[in-house]
Structure formats: structure tokens, C-alpha cells
């Protein structure tokens, strides 16, 4: 299965709160899992990525948690800020050039 299932579709979080976006996959050949952040009218920006041999990766306020046995991974945004309001896409690939994207999560951080 070449799908990556992403949830929730939309999310509202208070400023300072934690935003959590989840993704699940079936293809065990996936070996690279990036997250992209996209603002309206802009291209997706690579935010953070993880390989399956690591259970967690943190960069600033952004953390990926990876559960290989459950075939799930999630993005946590700590201390969420209004400037984090954007659409977030998880993705996966098998070591080739095709990225499989999740359906996207629209995050709104209220002031």
C-alpha cells in the first residue's frame, strides 16, 4: 500500500499549546519520513525528517516521534505560535524519487 494516512484534517490550538499531527503507513519499505510546512500561496518547506532507525528527532520546537512496530509517526509542535498556522504534510518514500504525501492538516494557532 502506497498510502500515508494523516489526521486530523484540521486542528485549532491555543497559543502556547502543543499541536500533534499523526500519520500512519502500511508499506514497510518506506525508509524516510519528512514533514513539510506550507503557508498559503507558498511552496512546501522541509521542516524535519526522520529515518526508521530512530524513535524520536527534535529540532527546536518541532519533534517527530516514530513508532516502527505500529507503522505510525507524528509531529509535535511545542509552545505553538500564531506564526505556526499553516498546512502540514507528512510524507514517506522508499529510497527512490517518489514521495508519498499525506492528505495534509490545516493548523490554526489562536492568539
Partner 1 sequence: DTEVTQTPKHLVMGMTNKKSLKCEQHMGHRAMYWYKQKAKKPPELMFVYSYEKLSINESVPSRFSPECPNSSLLNLHLHALQPEDSALYLCASSQNRGPYEQYFGPGTRLTVT
What does the binding site for partner 1 look like in residue numbers (CB under 8 A)? 31-32, 34, 36, 41-46, 49, 51, 87, 89, 93, 95-99, 101-104, 106
Chain CA centroid to CA 92, Å: 10
Q: Are 63 and 76 in contact (CB under 8 A)?
A: yes
Closer CB to partner 1, 11 or 16, in the complex: 11
Closer CB to partner 1, 18 or 46, in the complex: 46
Instruction: Give the sheet arrangement for strand 19-25, strand by strand.
Output: 4-7, 19-25, 72-77, 62-67, 56-59
Q: Which residues contact 98 (CB under 8 A, 6 or more apart)?
A: none
What is each CA distance from 111 to 9, 10, 48, 59, in whole angstroms?
A: 21, 17, 25, 23
Closer CB to partner 1, 17 or 24, in the complex: 24
Q: How far is the CB of 97 from partner 1 (least distance, A)?
A: 5
Q: How far is the CB of 32 from partner 1 (least distance, A)?
A: 4
Closer CB to partner 1, 8 or 16, in the complex: 8
Q: How far is the CB of 24 from partner 1 (least distance, A)?
A: 15
Amino acid at each position: 500500500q502506497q498510502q500515508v494516512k494523516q489526521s486530523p484534517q484540521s486542528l485549532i490550538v491555543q497559543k502556547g499549546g502543543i499541536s500533534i499531527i499523526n500519520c500512519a503507513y502500511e508499506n514497510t519499505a518506506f525508509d524516510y519520513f519528512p514533514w513539510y510546512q506550507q503557508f498559503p500561496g507558498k511552496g512546501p518547506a522541509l521542516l524535519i525528517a526522520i529515518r526508521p532507525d530512530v524513535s524520536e528527532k527534535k529540532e527546536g520546537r518541532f519533534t517527530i516521534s516514530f513508532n516502527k512496530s505500529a507503522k505510525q509517526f507524528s509531529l509535535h509542535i511545542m509552545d505553538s505560535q500564531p506564526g505556526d498556522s499553516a498546512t502540514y504534510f507528512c510524507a514517506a518514500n522508499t529510497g527512490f524519487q517518489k514521495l508519498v504525501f499525506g492528505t495534509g492538516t490545516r493548523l490554526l494557532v489562536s492568539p
